Amino acid sequence: MNLFEALLKYPAHDYAVGRLVFLSRIPGEVRLAALAGLVALAWGLYRRGAGRVPPRTHRVLLGLRVACVALLVFLLGIPALRFRSPRPGGVFAAVMVDTSRSMSIEDVPAEKGKQSRLAAAQQVLLASGTPDDPGLLLSLERGSNVLAYAFDAQAARTSDVERLKAQGQQTNIFRSIRDVDSDLRSVPLAAVVMLTDGCRNTGGEPEEAARLLEARGTPLYIVGIGDPRPPKDYEVMQVFAPRRVRRNTEVEVYATIRHTDFAQPFEIRISRGETPLVSKRVEPAKGTDLTSLRLAFTPDHEGTATYRLAVPAAEGESIADNNAREFTIQIQDDRLPVLYVEGSPRLEYRFLRRALFRDRDFRLVGLLRLASDRFYVQGASEAEAFLEKGFPETREQLFRFEAVILGDIEAGHFTMSQLELLEDFVRERGGGLLMLGGVNSFGLGKYAGTPVGRMLPLDISPSDPAYSEERFGAIVTPEGLKHPVLRLSPDPDANRRLWEKAPPLLGLTPVRGVKAGAQLLIASGDGRRPVLAVQNYGAGRVAAFTSGGSWYWQVSMPADDEFHEKFWKQLIRWLTVGAKEQLTLETDADIYARRNPVNIRATVLGRDLRPVNDAAVMAAVTDPFGNTEEVPMDWVLTQEGVYQARYVPNEEGEHQVAVRVEGWKDRSAAAGFLVSEPLVEFSDAGLKEPLLRQMAATAKGRYFTLAEARELPRALEAAVRAARFAGVKPHDQEIWDAPFFFIALLAIMGSEWFIRRRSGLA
Amino acid sequence: MGKQIIHTRHDLTLGRNAEDLAGGMEAIQRLSRRRFLASALGGAALGVAARSALADKAVTTGQFIFPRLQFSVYDNTPDIWNVHPVGDVNLRLKLRELTNINASQEPKVVRLDDFEDMVLNPFVFMTSEGYFKLNEKEERNLREFLERGGFILADDCVYAAREDRFFRTYNKLIDKLFPDNPMRKIPYDHEIFHIYYHFKDGCPHMQGVPHGAYGLFERGTGRLMTVNCPGDIHCGWVNRFWSDGRNLEAIKMGINIILYFLSH
């Protein structure tokens, strides 16, 4: 121990490094006020005797008294030296690099042309790695331990930033930040640095993640990479198509296309594999970058098929991966029974049966009245032997059909309960009803005021004029030309021409008019009399065809012309679209990413179409390689007749699902789904600068553009330093009891007494 | 009588059909015999009076027209295309009496060279005794008529009570028009023989060569597009040359053919 240390208690180094603090609980302001007060008192007291000593002596005495008071006040403040040591082990900084697919977009200027966003991020982090150009990683490593993370849907540590690839299918910024926070929860995290374009497409709000860091006291520094202006791009944003159709039924597909910075017409196509199905030239909507459109095609095969709707890549388009979307449709092939009740043998019956006889989708079951109490049943299966007794009388009997056609048969032939059953069939079961023209149809058949009359799309009355045998030309209304029933050609102009050339019809049941809400598709040539009208009724559909002479279309046109057949097939198909089935199966989406769970749902109804609960239901999922996995389905207790199961696909490609119910031999249902790479990363893929700026501000960090990235290391220094000492408790060494201060006090007081004595004041 | 159902052979057993039909047929025969006597003098004038109780109950609907086809024969057989029109009249009457088909009673003639008129009448009756030949246009029209869904009932009027000139000529004609699908004998269990009345031995044979009825079966569906009878059922409709029973059988076969046409 040397003299300094002996007098001042601690070595000189401590006084050089430590910071002087006062440990007294008396606030500094109070102490200063007390000092000022005492100095004033001392000066006031000394003024009394000022005339008795020379001014110089007076000033010396005053100065000594003030020094004494000040020293006392100083010591009363309990002076100490305070020391703060940095954390042992240092602090950490996390560097997060976005490796989702949007980072592969090449829109960042480079020395030659453009480079991808990820390449630009790697350049910021690694630079040349020399002392003159160390890159962000090396700069950060000078003051902290740096951990690098690659993130897309989640974050994972990486030790090789240089080899990172932009392959992530989705971006979840919220989860990624949370992952890093969790991973580094037990260490001092000085800062989080994120290099990203901000294009997130799944998961929670990034703002919430920024608040997470802010609460922890960890600032977030973000380098935004990419062009904020959306690149010139065609993007297929949405595709809507029915999940299930009958074979040979027209499928309508609705799509929304975003055409960023493109104003010229573009082509859109639907294909299946390599086979193009339909294409259309589209004029983009004006004043907006979104255009909705409709395409239609008719599948002619059965099973589940995957289709692709695509816009060919245009010149100057930087992202081509989002130009297409795939969708799946299940095409059903079982022949649906349609009941045709005819009042007497007539040409319309013959030719309508002939038109549908070869249809693979429908089985026409004829109930032909030959006399008032004699029927001829055609095309019925063994299970339909109840038709021996005439028209069905129970739900179970009638509901097995998909549609009912009433020919030239009067309402009086049926009982009221049969007519009411027919109404239930349409309204609840979703079956279709078609009434044909004849001398005993519509009003003439006394259907007005009956349940069937309620369902018809026409206003009818018993006093309607008699059936007319005239030959007349039929006009398709503008509404009719757009209706799927009358779409005999996919080309609208060709379709219109086909109908303009259609032969006349023979015979018409006059009615009063069309009900409000119904659609008139065909009218007589003078436009006054309805010929074909349709409407929805409950879950089902109803059509009224007032002519009894469409057979004339068939015999008036060449034998190989399928005008007549096509019309009836399309009308029957349209009628049966809503019909409920006993066993249906669907998945919650058409397309999944690998390892995303597929929710499978089946609805099981009995023969009377009432839900069946607690059945043994099994789903069998077959992957693209033919491997089948059976998954038991559980009844959803809160939904009658509904069963569900979950399946996680491991392979990409088309998957098929089949469901069966134990004890049901003749019923099954099938569906399909596709597992493929999602394309969400290229949707709306411009740099999200406002979002990133907000995140950085929330987390008390800062946002940098790519050009400003060089400033990052310096901006991080303060954060790193603060983190180094954050949470570390300071060490205090009191010095008020150092001998020096006691000696100094004695010296001051002794000098003052000596001078006062010599001056004659003491 | 309760509701009686006539089933297709495909739906239920034949035995059950026969049982069901027996009682009904008896009633029909009793009525028909009375009506036949009443119509022996001509028939057309008896239209209203000839309607039976069954027809009263039947609900009228769109009209069915039964026309005769006019064509040329080239041999000197006396009975040509328009032989015995009263047979058609009687059949139309019986059609109306015994079924609920609203058969028009108006006579009608169609010609193969007037195709537009032909297609307005998708069912056509053709008969004569002798050989015939159609020109190219007529042949073309006949083929097109059948392919569009038209139907021809051909019946041999049987020259000299024993020959089959018309029958063979018609078969040959159809085979020429449809070379990949020749005329075939209609089996006795075919629907056309059981759809309304029951003929266990096939088409009734009044006179001539008993070939059995032949038909052209549509490819893909098996539907009969035309029927050729060798046994002169038309003369049975005339109700003059044989017993009431035999004549009635001919009428019934005509009804079966028409009902088959209207339901297939």
The distance of B207 to chain A (nearest Cα, Å) reads 30
The distance of A489 to chain B (nearest Cα, Å) reads 22
Residue in B121, B217, B262 to test binding to A, most A beta-carbons within 10 Å: B262
Q: Do B5 and A366 touch (CB under 8 A)?
A: no
Q: Is A209's Cβ below 8 Å from some Cβ in B?
A: no
Domain that holds residue B210: 64-262
Q: Is B99's Cβ below 8 Å from some Cβ in A?
A: yes
Q: Model pTM?
A: 0.58
CA distances from A625 to A389, A564, A659, B174 (A): 51, 44, 19, 54
- Complex ipTM over 0.90: no
The distance of A298 to chain B (nearest Cα, Å) reads 23
Q: Is A440's Cβ below 8 Å from some Cβ in B?
A: yes
Residue B11 domain flag: no
Instruction: Quote the pLDDT of residue A760.
Output: 79
Residue B33 domain flag: no
Q: Is A446's Cβ below 8 Å from some Cβ in B?
A: no
List pLDDT tens digits, range B187-240. 998 999 999 999 999 999 999 999 999 999 998 788 999 999 999 999 999 999
Residue B46 domain flag: no
Q: Is A374's Cβ below 8 Å from some Cβ in B?
A: yes
| Cα torsion angle, A453, A456, A459, A465, sign | negative
Query: What phi and psi, each to the nearest 5 degrees, are found at residue A259?
Result: -120, 85
Q: Using 50, 70 and 90 to split pLDDT, how confident is the model at B159? A: confident
The tokens for A42 are 């001392």
| Cα torsion angle, B9, B13, B18, B19, sign | negative
Q: Is B2's Cβ below 8 Å from some Cβ in A?
A: yes
Residue in B59, B110, B114, B141 to test binding to A, most A beta-carbons within 10 Å: B59
**DSSP characters for A272-293?**
ETTEEEEEEEEPPPTTSSEEEE
Tell whether the model's pLDDT for residue B259 goes beyond 80: yes
Q: Tell me how crowded residue A531 is: count the other CB atoms within 10 A of its CB.
A: 26
Residue B169 domain flag: yes
Q: Please name the residue that has the structure tokens 């104003």.
A: A263
Rounded to whole angstroms, the Cα distance separating A62 from B93 reads 154
Buried b (16+ CB within 10 A) or exposed e, A482-504: ebebbbbeeeeeebbebbeebbb
Please name the residue of chain A whose CA is at the shortest distance from the CA of residue B103: A346
Instruction: Quote the pLDDT of residue B112.
Output: 93
Rounded to whole angstroms, the Cα distance separating B164 from B23 reads 36
Contact A675, A657 (CB under 8 A): no
Q: Do B6 and A389 touch (CB under 8 A)?
A: no
Q: Do A350 and B4 touch (CB under 8 A)?
A: no
List pLDDT tens digits, range B95-137. 988 888 888 888 999 999 999 999 999 999 999 998 999 999 9
Contact A349, A355 (CB under 8 A): no
Name the amino acid, one letter, at A324. Answer: A
Q: Do A385 and B54 touch (CB under 8 A)?
A: no
The distance of A553 to chain B (nearest Cα, Å) reads 10
The tokens for A306 are 């995957």
Residue in A359, A554, A555, A557 to test binding to B, most B beta-carbons within 10 Å: A555
Q: Do A372 and B64 touch (CB under 8 A)?
A: no
Q: Would you tell me which residues 22-61 of chain B have a C-beta closer than 8 angstroms to some C-beta of chain A? A: 24, 54, 57-61
| Cα torsion angle, A142, A144, A149, A151, sign | negative
Q: Do A375 and B5 touch (CB under 8 A)?
A: yes
Q: Domain total for chain B?
A: 1
The distance of A392 to chain B (nearest Cα, Å) reads 14
Q: Is B7's Cβ below 8 Å from some Cβ in A?
A: yes
| Mean of pLDDT over chain B | 79
Residue B123 domain flag: yes
Q: Do B54 and A368 touch (CB under 8 A)?
A: no
Please name the residue of chain A whose CA is at the shortest distance from the CA of residue B4: A374
Return the minimum-mean-pLDDT range out of A270-279, A745-754, B55-64, B70-79: B55-64
Rounded to whole angstroms, the Cα distance separating A188 from A719 reads 11
Q: Do A376 and B102 touch (CB under 8 A)?
A: no
Mean pLDDT, residues B83-106: 91
Q: Is A43's Cβ below 8 Å from some Cβ in B?
A: no
List pLDDT tens digits, range A121-174. 999 999 877 777 778 888 888 878 899 999 998 999 999 999 999 988 788 899
Please name the residue of chain A whose CA is at the shortest distance from the CA of residue B61: A439
Rounded to whole angstroms, the Cα distance separating A68 from A8 reads 18
Rounded to whole angstroms, the Cα distance separating B255 from A576 reads 35
Contact A236, A311 (CB under 8 A): yes
Residue B211 domain flag: yes
Sites in chain A below the pLDDT cut of 50: none
Domain CATH for B213? 3.40.50.12140
For residue B130, which of B169, B171, B83, B84 has the smallest C-alpha distance?
B169
Q: Is A445's Cβ below 8 Å from some Cβ in B?
A: no
Contacts A–B by Cβ distance under 8 A: 139
Q: Do A368 and B263 touch (CB under 8 A)?
A: yes
CA distances from B118 to A469, A482, B73, B149, B228 (A): 17, 35, 19, 12, 19
Q: Do A372 and B54 touch (CB under 8 A)?
A: yes
Residue B49 domain flag: no
Residue B15 domain flag: no
Contact B246, B236 (CB under 8 A): yes
